[in-house]
Amino acid sequence: MNEERVIEKAFVGLSRKMSGRVFRDVSLAKRVTFRVGGPASILATADTISDLRLLFQIVERYRIPYFVLGKGSNILVSDKGFKGIAIELGPNFKKISVDGRYIQTGAAAALSTLSQVAWKNSLKGFAFAVGIPGSLGGALVMNAGAHGGCMANIVNTVTVYTPNCELRVLNKTELGFGYRTSSLLSYGIIVEAMTRLEPGDPDRIRFLMERYFRRRKEVQPFEYPTAGSIFKNVSGISSGKVIDEVGCKGLTIGGAQVSSKHGNFIVNLGNAKAQDIYSLIGEVRRRVYGRKRILLEPEIIILGEFEDEQRNS
Ligand SMILES: Cc1cc2nc3c(=O)[nH]c(=O)nc-3n(C[C@H](O)[C@H](O)[C@H](O)COP(=O)(O)OP(=O)(O)OC[C@H]3O[C@@H](n4cnc5c(N)ncnc54)[C@H](O)[C@@H]3O)c2cc1C
């Protein structure tokens, strides 16, 4: 069966049971913060575990690739799009419940909402997440962090739905957390997680949240679409600083530019192609390596096909 036929069969199979929540050839550009990228062959919104079971059955039956789209704030999707199923989690996966120091949260809940919930319940440890525009699921995969805090510090358990169609509760030691990484993608789809926080003074928590948010506004280019930091810091050295030192701030390819405000941010000036951003990432890496012998590693997830090109600097 050719690829198109497989996709069509998968679409028909999903539509039978998830009618109104499965679509063909949906542009991902509007669903990612970079505002670039081509279509997903199929976009499905799963709102129950039964939906996820069906999705995995279809993935298995037709050997079709899939990925889960959180809030799309750490991802660069190719202009050619994604040939497979993009899965979004629906409102049922946004529930939040607080029990003493524990907060049980669906994977689709916004990280910044969670940060607010923790503050309102006088729980400290989540202030770092204010202003990080991701979902809980994406934040766990990336071990998102800022201001000295990160998800690994506050997570207790994560519940995943595995490709074998089993719900599995993982404890922290199984999550493979590292700097902006985890092993969670290897388990399947994150459906919920429990964080454990410590009691704190709400005024102090609010003070920190405001301070962190102000700091973001000062240093980050909020006026253009971005995906946050492009590269990981290297052994504690700020990638933004290194990029600045080699004179890459303002470097532009097509509609993509290294922000003049923050060297580790690439912005979409409005008409960028995903390929422009990808090429700019490559160019910055080449220049930094050429001048500093530092190999920058992308922090963002790069999805789909891109052309690699060699440029002379
Ligand atoms: C302006 C701006 C500022 C930012 N600041 C920070 C910062 O300070 N610190 C920081 O760490 N990051 C930052 N980021 C990056 C980003 O917000 C975080 O990495 C965020 O946690 C990603 O979450 P998301 O829901 O957008 O994930 P997405 O980008 O949608 O996905 C990221 C990865 O997680 C996977 N995924 C998402 N949900 C699930 C799920 N339920 N199950 C399985 N896999 C899943 C996706 O398939 C993908 O591989 C920033 C981004 C922007 C645009």
**Which is nearest to 153 in space by CA: 190, 126, 120, 185?**
126
Domain(s) of CATH 3.90.78.10: residues in the chain = 221-303
Q: Rounded to whole angstroms, how far apart are CA atoms 44 and 159?
A: 21
Q: Kindly give, in sequence order, each residue whose CB lies less than 8 Å from that of residue 312, ignoring residues fewer than 6 positions away.
A: none
Q: Kindly give, in sequence order, each residue whose CB lies less than 8 Å from that of residue 252, ignoring residues fewer than 6 positions away.
A: 258, 269, 280
Q: Rounded to whole angstroms, how far apart are CA atoms 84 and 86?
A: 7
pLDDT in tens, the chain (313 residues): 788 999 999 999 999 999 899 999 999 999 999 999 999 999 999 999 999 999 999 999 999 999 999 999 999 999 999 999 999 999 999 999 999 999 999 999 999 999 999 999 999 999 999 999 999 999 999 999 999 999 999 999 999 999 999 999 999 999 999 999 999 999 999 999 999 999 999 999 999 999 999 999 999 998 999 999 999 999 889 999 999 999 999 999 999 999 999 999 999 999 999 999 999 999 999 999 999 999 999 999 999 999 986 544 3
Q: Give the distance (Å) from ligand 1 centre to CA of residue 133.
A: 7
**Amino acid 236: pLDDT:** 85
**Amino acid 312: pLDDT:** 42
Strand residue runs (E) in 6-150:
22-27, 39-46, 66-68, 75-77, 82-89, 96-99, 102-106, 123-124, 145-146, 149-150
The preferred substitution site among 87, 141, 222 for testing ligand 1, maximizing ligand atoms within 8 Å of CB, is 141
What is the set of active-site residues?
180, 229, 299
Tokens of 290: 């050429």
Q: Give the distance (Å) from ligand 1 centre to CA of residue 135.
A: 7
Q: Give the distance (Å) from ligand 1 centre to CA of residue 1.
A: 35
3-89 has CATH 3.30.43.10 classification: yes
Q: Other C-beta atoms within 10 Å of 92: how many?
A: 14
Instruction: For the domain made up of 93-206, give the CATH fold.
Output: 3.30.465
Classify domain 221-303 at the CATH class level: alpha beta
Q: Rounded to whole angstroms, how far apart are CA atoms 78 and 68?
A: 16
Nearest CA to ligand 1 atom 43: 189
Q: Give the distance (Å) from ligand 1 centre to CA of residue 71.
A: 7
pTM over the 0.85 mark: yes
Domain(s) of CATH 3.30.465.10: residues in the chain = 93-206
Ligand 1 shell residues, CB under 6 Å: 33, 67-75, 89, 107, 132-135, 137-139, 141-142, 144-146, 185, 189-190, 220, 226-228, 301
Domain(s) of CATH 3.30.43.10: residues in the chain = 3-89
DSSP annotation of 135 = B
